[in-house]
């Protein structure tokens, strides 16, 4: 009888350990999948923000760009904000961006490289003679998890 009880105890303990490790592995995989999805979403949002600037809402548009960037990307956006605002207001430009595709290229903990494809159409309301212009963009974006939020740290054009 003792051997039976001891055997059942060992079996119960082994089953519990297996269940725990299975649960832990699944939770880790779900966290990693969530981070991948959040990193891709952050890069896509940033791309659309960069390509969606209007003379009517330029201050809010620039704030959105800054709010979704960090590091080198944020520094560059701060540096160029006055010129972007001036040109946008002067030409009465309305640029509308569309995300075409975004996918993880590589990921390492709290940073990832994301490939992004986006397009934009620019209209100049200050000169009705100018036809709308289409532009096509391809980036490699480095995103970083900062304070639990994924932000674009670097964006470089690729061909």
Residue, of 28 and 47, whose pLDDT is higher? 47
- In the chain, domain spans: 29-157
Other C-beta atoms within 10 Å of 11: how many?
10
Lowest-confidence region among 5-19, 65-79, 85-99: 5-19
Query: Could you read off the pLDDT of 80-94 as tens digits, one per residue?
Result: 999 999 999 999 999
Under 8 Å between Cβ of 69 and 153: yes
Q: How many whole angstroms separate alpha carbon 159 and alpha carbon 157?
A: 7
Query: Could you read off the pLDDT of 96-124 as tens digits, one per residue?
Result: 999 999 999 999 989 999 999 999 999 99
Q: Could you name the CATH architecture of 29-157?
A: Roll (3.10)
For the residues 56-85, what does the mean pLDDT come to?
A: 98
Q: How many whole angstroms separate alpha carbon 7 and alpha carbon 80?
A: 71
pLDDT of amino acid 26:
63
For the residues 12-21, what does the mean pLDDT come to?
A: 64
For the chain, the average pLDDT equals: 90
What Å distances lie between residue 63 and 71, 111, 124, CA to CA?
A: 15, 23, 22
Report the greatest alpha carbon distance in the chain. 96
How big is the CA angle at 96 (ends 95 and 98), to the nearest 5 degrees? 140
């Amino acid at each position: 009888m003792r051997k039976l009880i001891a055997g059942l105890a060992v079996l119960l303990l082994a089953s519990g350990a297996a269940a725990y490790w299975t649960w832990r592995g699944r939770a880790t995989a779900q966290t990693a999948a969530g981070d991948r999805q959040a990193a891709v979403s952050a890069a896509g949002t940033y791309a659309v923000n960069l390509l969606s600037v209007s003379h009517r809402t330029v201050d809010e548009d620039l704030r959105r760009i800054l709010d979704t960037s960090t590091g080198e990307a944020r520094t560059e956006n701060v540096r160029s904000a006055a010129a972007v605002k001036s040109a946008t207001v002067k030409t009465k430009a309305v640029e509308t961006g569309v995300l075409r595709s975004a996918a993880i290229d590589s990921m390492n903990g709290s940073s990832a490289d994301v490939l992004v494809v986006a397009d934009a159409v620019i209209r100049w309301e200050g000169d009705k003679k100018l036809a709308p212009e289409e532009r096509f963009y391809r980036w490699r974006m480095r995103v970083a998890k900062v304070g639990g939020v994924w932000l674009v740290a670097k964006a470089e054009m690729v061909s």
